[in-house]
């Protein structure tokens, strides 16, 4: 019996439980819990219609450790899959320790009042997970997640040493809206308005948000502007692959997105500190989220592809200089046809399902808190090919010129 409790009924949670239900021999019992139970029930209906599998649903406020502990105790899952928001990571980890369950998430903890991504809060749980003989797997989405596995697969099979790593995240999808984000708007906007940071020669180099732009021709999408950004896997990769001399993360944004975001920033709508409005305290970014389209609602209209991957340069196993590019291309309309969700949710929910499958089957096992790059990449890479995110790899003529 491999029971799982999935927390969070957004786009990512929806994809993950659909894919779990499609693998019912691995996931013998699935419960989906979230703040709004009606969203869990709607997903359960879709899962039933598409796969004939019945999943249980529950209401939970995952900020409440006692209530989450009680829910885990009543469901008795082997694993809790946290697909709520980064704010809930620590409370769900606490509840897993209290109730006795393993833990997996796709985004690192972030305090609600500070737009700051750091693994330190979750790495601090190492001793408690070891003492409890429990495993926590951090960042089993696409980026972080697949990008770390891609890097370690290149290292395991092709490189004696990786010197530089560029992670390229392109969403070439068009949802037909003037402005919308393709995952949780609050988390997305906090991420892209934070200063850019990359790893170079043993230290972090900080530059203003969206100040470094490069055009890159993405297969399946075409030429797009990509911007240097900070992303959490840079921290864990710099830690677990200390040979890296430089590691950077790039994400594409269209001119329309940048235009809207600039205006929203200039007028103060992306602020995360509370302001008084007619006697009520509101956080502008949370209010903005309430008026923007829900990412889950973009599925029916989004067309185009995502293309996410890594370019690594270093010394190959034969002692010669080597540059390789490994990536996945995912089609928004195909993702929607299969699960009712667009490709950004799909490319995150599928790796969450795969990480969960490897954990509940004991293929990936351990006691303590782990990042993806600490695990054997091979079984995960095989499952990407089998479960809807096939990857391709090629040798480039030389290092990137940007
Ligand atoms: P959504 O906003 O669509 O969904 C989040 C869900 O979590 C909602 O159902 C929400 O409930 C629920 N939730 C929020 N707070 C609580 C709470 N206190 N208790 C219980 N449930 C709660 O987000 P996405 O599905 O787009 O993203 C989910 C996660 O995946 C995020 O952490 C995001 O950062 C991460 N992500 C990771 C990526 C990767 O590649 N690694 C890429 C994209 C996303 P309600 O419906 O009531 O608001």
Nearest CA owner, ligand 1 atom 8: 10
For residues 60-80, average pLDDT: 98
The model's pLDDT over 362-375, given as tens digits with 9 standing for 90+, comes to 999 999 999 999 99
Distance of CA 297 to the CA centre of its chain: 19
Nearest CA owner, ligand 1 atom 23: 184
Sketch the domain layout of the chain as residue ranges.
146-337
Nearest CA owner, ligand 1 atom 2: 184
Beta-bridge partners for 315 = 161, 321
Q: What distance in angstroms lies between residue 402's CA and the mean position of ligand 1's atoms?
A: 34
Let me know: does 344 contact 366? Beta carbons within 8 Å: no
Q: For a ligand 1 pocket test, name from 10, 19, 306 the mutation site with the most ligand atoms within 8 angstroms of its C-beta.
A: 10
For residues 140-154, average pLDDT: 98
Q: What distance in angstroms lies between residue 106's CA and the mean position of ligand 1's atoms?
A: 10
- Report how far apart, in Å, the C-alpha atoms of 109 and of each of 31, 85, 114, 232, 262 are: 23, 9, 11, 10, 26
pLDDT at residue 1 in the model: 63
Nearest CA owner, ligand 1 atom 39: 141
Q: Where is average pLDDT lowest: 65-74, 147-156, 253-262?
A: 253-262
pLDDT at residue 396 in the model: 98
CATH for 146-337 is 3.30.360.10
Examine the pLDDT at 353 and tell me if it is beyond 70: yes
Q: What distance in angstroms lies between residue 138's CA and the mean position of ligand 1's atoms?
A: 15
Residues with CB under 6 A from ligand 1: 7-13, 34-36, 39, 60-63, 83-86, 88, 106-107, 141-145, 183-184, 187, 295-296, 345, 348
Q: Where is average pLDDT lowest: 159-173, 201-215, 283-297, 365-379?
A: 283-297
Let me know: does 396 contact 327? Beta carbons within 8 Å: no
Q: Where is average pLDDT lowest: 281-290, 292-301, 330-339?
A: 292-301
pLDDT at residue 390 in the model: 98
**Model-level pTM greater than 0.85?**
yes
Q: What distance in angstroms lies between residue 163's CA and the mean position of ligand 1's atoms?
A: 34
pLDDT at residue 190 in the model: 85
Q: For a ligand 1 pocket test, name from 34, 112, 229 the mutation site with the most ligand atoms within 8 angstroms of its C-beta.
A: 34
* Dihedral Cα 162, 239, 148, 124, nearest 10 deg: 170
pLDDT at residue 95 in the model: 98
Determine the atom of ligand 1 nearest the C-alpha atom of 188: 34
Nearest CA owner, ligand 1 atom 13: 84
Q: What distance in angstroms lies between residue 159's CA and the mean position of ligand 1's atoms?
A: 36
The model's pLDDT over 239-254, given as tens digits with 9 standing for 90+, comes to 999 999 999 999 999 9
Cα separation, 249 vs 230, whole angstroms: 6
Let me know: does 192 contact 209? Beta carbons within 8 Å: yes
The model's pLDDT over 80-128, given as tens digits with 9 standing for 90+, comes to 999 999 999 999 999 999 999 999 999 999 888 877 778 999 999 999 9
Q: What distance in angstroms lies between residue 185's CA and the mean position of ligand 1's atoms?
A: 10
For residues 140-150, average pLDDT: 98
Q: What distance in angstroms lies between residue 295's CA and the mean position of ligand 1's atoms?
A: 10
The model's pLDDT over 2-59, given as tens digits with 9 standing for 90+, comes to 999 999 999 999 999 999 999 999 999 999 999 999 999 999 999 999 999 999 999 9
């Amino acid at each position: 019996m491999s029971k799982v409790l999935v927390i969070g009924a957004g786009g990512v949670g929806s994809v993950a439980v659909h894919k779990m239900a499609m693998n019912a021999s691995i996931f013998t019992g699935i419960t989906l819990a979230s703040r709004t139970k009606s969203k869990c029930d709607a997903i359960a209906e879709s899962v039933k219609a598409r796969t004939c599998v019945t999943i249980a649903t529950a209401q939970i406020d995952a900020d409440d450790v006692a209530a989450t502990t009680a829910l885990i105790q009543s469901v008795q899952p082997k694993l809790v899959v946290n697909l709520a928001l980064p704010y809930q990571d620590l409370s769900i980890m606490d509840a897993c320790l209290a109730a006795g369950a393993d833990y997996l998430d796709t985004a690192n903890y972030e305090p609600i009042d500070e737009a700051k991504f750091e693994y330190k809060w979750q790495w601090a749980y190492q001793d408690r997970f070891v003492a409890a003989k429990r495993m926590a797997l951090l960042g089993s989405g696409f980026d972080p997640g697949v990008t770390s596995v891609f890097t370690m697969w290149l290292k395991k099979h092709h490189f004696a040493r990786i010197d530089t790593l560029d992670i390229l995240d392109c969403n070439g999808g068009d949802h037909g809206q003037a402005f919308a984000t393709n995952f949780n708007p609050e988390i997305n906007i906090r991420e892209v308005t934070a200063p850019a940071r990359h790893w170079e020669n043993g230290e972090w180099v900080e530059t203003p948000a969206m100040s470094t732009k490069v055009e890159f021709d993405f297969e399946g999408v075409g030429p797009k502007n990509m911007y240097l950004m900070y992303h959490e896997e840079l921290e864990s990769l710099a830690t677990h692959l200390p040979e890296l001399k430089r590691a950077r993360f790039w994400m594409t944004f269209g001119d329309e997105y940048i235009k809207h975001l600039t205006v929203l920033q200039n007028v103060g709508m992306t602020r995360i500190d509370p302001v008084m409005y007619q006697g009520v305290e509101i956080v502008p970014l949370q209010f903005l989220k309430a008026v923007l389209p829900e990412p889950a609602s973009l599925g029916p209209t989004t067309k185009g592809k995502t293309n996410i991957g890594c370019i690594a340069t270093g010394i190959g196993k034969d002692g010669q200089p080597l540059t390789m590019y490994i990536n996945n291309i995912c089609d928004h309309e195909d993702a929607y046809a299969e699960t009712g969700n667009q490709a950004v949710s799909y490319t995150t929910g599928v790796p969450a399902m795969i990480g969960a499958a490897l954990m509940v089957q004991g293929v990936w096992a351990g006691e303590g808190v782990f990042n993806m790059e600490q695990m054997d990449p091979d079984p995960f890479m095989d499952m990407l090919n089998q479960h809807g995110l096939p990857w391709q790899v090629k040798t480039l003529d030389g290092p990137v010129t940007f």
